[in-house]
Structure 1
Amino acid sequence: MRTVAVVGTGLIGTSLALALVRRGLTVHLEDADPDAARTAASLGAGTTDPADGPVDLAVVAVPPALVGRVLADCQRRGLAHRYTDVASVKAGPRADVTALGCDTTHYIGSHPMAGRERTGPLAARADLFEGRPWVLTPTADTDTETLNAALEMVALCGAMPIVMDAGAHDRAVALVSHAPQLLSSLVAARLEHADETAVRLAGQGVRDVTRIAGSNPAMWVDILSANAGVVADILDELAADLGETVTALRALEAADEAGRRSGAAGIEAVLRRGNNGQARIPGKHGAPPTRYETVAVVLGDQPGELGRLFGEVGALGVNIEDVAIEHSTAQQVGFVQLSVAPSAVARLNTALREHGWSVRSV
């Protein structure tokens, strides 16, 4: 594959174009908003000049509701030999593609499982897809060459291909992406009119839960509109769980001991179910989750401190498996939580204290 057309230069389209240009491909950019295409081109994502003839692959990077119409237009113009899209929902666009009479032999749906809270070409990154799953949803008549072209695109972006049925994909992303987005927004909405003193107490827990609530509402309306029924089904189940949890919490306030025991048992059951679900999320490099221990270090908010800490940990021969930073709202310090192998905790605590670092108990 040498030439690609990217139709739609938002976050995903521009990131894809940047990744392919970095690998030496010629990328032609199109967008309904010419300014967006020119911005992407100025970032090094390709050229706005039209291709001399059909490119090897055209990538339709538009909202789910527009995929069918844009694909039909691209095929009518003979833009490419083969086509894919990168919409976050697959069943709806596939139905539109079929209804519009598009050529499905040379088309395959796809969805890179990557994104950011920011949108538009200026938020794009060439490494956005590296190490991320990238779902491919071939139709019954997608030919082998089209599948291979999509696999090559995924490989060039450093992602991991996963072949799925379109409906199964939509049910999966409703569970792991779309419903969590709404829940994050609902929790964050509780803060909108909260007392300022309460908001200033926000720690890492609420920051973790509400991080994706900063996402673009218009973009999510497009996504959720294309997968509304499946997401609603999941939220119905969550609503039932919430109802039972509220009942259990009310029972904890009961005057009789039996009521309080019943409430405690209900809350414990919810928390244990959460433990079990969280434990199923894949760990490092997709391996089964590994139990790491946390070493928390107080870090001054000044240039070079984080690099110095990482350097000293590395010099000790300790691998940092994960890292999180919690910022103090009252002082110019942060709390860096280093996830390391349990066998390294005691040695790391001692060495860091000897080097003058303030180490917190976790």
Structure 2
Amino acid sequence: MRTALVIGTGLIGTSAALALAGRGVTVHLVDHDPERAQTAAALGAGTDAPPPGRVDLAIVAVPPAYTATALAAAMRDGVARGYLDVASVKGGPRRELEALSLDLSAYIGSHPMSGKERSGPLAATADLFEGRPWVLTPTAATDTEVLNLALELIALCRAVPVVMDADAHDRAVALVSHTPQLVSSMVAARLEEADETAVRLCGQGIRDVTRIAASDPAMWVDILTANPGPVADVLTGIAADLDETVRALRSLQSPDEERRLGGATDIGSVLRRGNAGRARVPGKHGTAPAAYEIVGVLISDQPGELARIFSDAGREGVNIEDVRIEHATGQQAGLVQLMVEPSAAASLAASLRERGWAIRQ
């Protein structure tokens, strides 16, 4: 791949352009808002000048509602050898293209499974896709050359290709992406009018659950409008679990001991099912989830403190597998949770304690 055209310079389009441009591909940028394309170009994602001729690959990175229209226009203009979209739903755009009776041999659907709460070109990074799954949904008509161009794009972005049926993809993302966004927003909405005293008690748990609630509502309306059925199906199951849980909680308030015991059993069942589901979420590098030990370190809010912790851990020869920071409300301090292999936890805690760190395990 020597040349590419990115249509839509939001987070995903600009990030792909940055990755391609950084690896020597000549990238042309176009957006319905010329200022966004100019911003992406200024960031080093390519040029907002039109391509002088046909490019190798056109990447359509516009909202799902406009994906088929943008693809059809590009294909009719013959701007590329191959055409690929990165919309977060796949079945709808494909059916729209089929209804237009276009030759789809030059087209392949795709969806990089990565993103941020922030949107727009200024949120883009060249490493956004590194190590992340990038779904491809070829049709029976997709030409081998176009599939190879898509695989090259994924390789240049250092992502991991996953081939799926378009409708199976939409059901999958309804479960692992679209429904979590709605549930996160629903929980965060409970905080809007909560008493200030309650809000001041917010800890890491509520921060984890509501992190993605900061996402752009307009963007998510577009996404959910394109995949309403599968999301509604998942929410129906969650609603049934919620009804059961509410009944169980009410039973815990009953003066009847048998009802209370039944309620506790039902609550425990939901929590255990949650344990089982969480255990299936892939861990580091997409492998089976690992059971890490947590070494907690009290840290002051001062420049260089995190670097000092990692440096001290490195001297002990311990690899930090993951890290979380739990901030103390109203205090210039927090708790850093270092996740390490169980065999390394005791030695790391002892080493850090010797170096003056306050350890909480």
TM-score by length of 1: 0.99
Instruction: Determine the structure 2 residue equivalent to 1:145.
Output: 145
* Equivalent-residue separation in structure 2 for 1:344 and 1:160 (angstroms): 30
Residue 101 of structure 1 and its aligned partner are, at CA, apart by 2.3
Instruction: Determine the structure 1 residue equivalent to 2:163.
Output: 163
Instruction: Determine the structure 2 residue equivalent to 1:267.
Output: 267
Amino acid in the other structure paired with 1:326: E
Check conservation: 1:68, 1:100, Cα contact below 8 A: no
Residue 257 of structure 1 and its aligned partner are, at CA, apart by 1.1
Instruction: Determine the structure 2 residue equivalent to 1:325.
Output: 325
Residue 84 of structure 1 and its aligned partner are, at CA, apart by 0.3
Question: How many matched pairs?
Answer: 361
In structure 1, runs of 5+ residues without a counterpart are none
In structure 2, runs of 5+ residues without a counterpart are none
Instruction: Determine the structure 1 residue equivalent to 2:239.
Output: 239
Residue 103 of structure 1 and its aligned partner are, at CA, apart by 2.3
Residue 348 of structure 1 and its aligned partner are, at CA, apart by 1.4
Alignment of 1:186-335 (within 5 A): 186-335=186-335
% identical aligned pairs: 67
* Equivalent-residue separation in structure 2 for 1:271 and 1:214 (angstroms): 26
* Equivalent-residue separation in structure 2 for 1:66 and 1:347 (angstroms): 55
Instruction: Determine the structure 2 residue equivalent to 1:177.
Output: 177
* Equivalent-residue separation in structure 2 for 1:163 and 1:271 (angstroms): 33
Q: Deviations over 1:105-125 (max 9, x none)?
A: 000000000000001111111
* Equivalent-residue separation in structure 1 for 2:277 and 2:295 (angstroms): 25
Q: Classify the secondary structure of the residue corresponding to 2:336.
A: strand
Instruction: Determine the structure 1 residue equivalent to 2:59.
Output: 59
Instruction: Determine the structure 2 residue equivalent to 1:85.
Output: 85
Instruction: Determine the structure 1 residue equivalent to 2:47.
Output: 47
Runs of 4+, deviation exceeding 3 Å: none
Q: Classify the secondary structure of the residue corresponding to 2:105.
A: coil
* Equivalent-residue separation in structure 2 for 1:102 and 1:163 (angstroms): 23
Amino acid in the other structure paired with 1:78: G
Q: Deviations over 1:11-31 (max 9, x none)?
A: 000000000000010000000
Amino acid in the other structure paired with 1:106: A
TM-score by length of 2: 0.99
Amino acid in the other structure paired with 1:346: A
Amino acid in the other structure paired with 1:46: G
Q: Classify the secondary structure of the residue corresponding to 1:324.
A: strand
Check conservation: 1:55, 1:79, Cα contact below 8 A: yes
Instruction: Determine the structure 2 residue equivalent to 1:69.
Output: 69
Q: Deviations over 1:49-70 (max 9, x none)?
A: 1111100000000011111111
Q: Deviations over 1:216-244 (max 9, x none)?
A: 00000000000001100110110000000
